[in-house]
Amino acid sequence: NESVAEPDLPRNTHEKMKVFVQSPMFDIFSGVLILTNSFVMAWSLELQGRDIGERLGIAQGGTAAWDEWSPFFNLTEHIFALLFLAELVGRMVVEKRHFFFSGWNFLDAILV
């Protein structure tokens, strides 16, 4: 009588996810994501400032640039939010209740 072992897929998947989330590459990816988001936000604020300056009569050329790039910034804002949420959920799944004992994780959860 051969007993058929049930597949241990959830555990294997969790272990793979744990290795991935706790790897240095995941931290590097998260850091690069934060830096890229910061640059995109700074660029967005620059164009918004030019737009406001033009509307106030202080500067020229801002409205056309903002109107052209506004859809891009709206899209990237949503993409970054989803990526940050996926990173947060990944850490929560891997660390379980220990996630809530880290100040950095708490800060990350508030910011996301």
Claim: this prediction has a pTM higher than 0.85: no
Q: How far apart are CA 55 and CA 50, in angstroms?
A: 9
pLDDT 10s digit of each residue in the chain, 112 long? Answer: 555 555 554 568 888 888 888 899 999 999 999 999 999 999 999 888 888 888 888 877 667 777 888 899 999 999 999 999 999 999 888 888 888 888 888 888 887 7
Give residue 77's pLDDT.
95
- Rg of the Cα trace of the chain? 21
Residue 43 CB neighbours (<10 A): 14
**CB within 8 A of 73, min separation 6: which ones?**
40, 43, 44, 47
Residue 110, exposed/middle/buried by CB under 10 A (0-12, 13-18, 19+)?
exposed
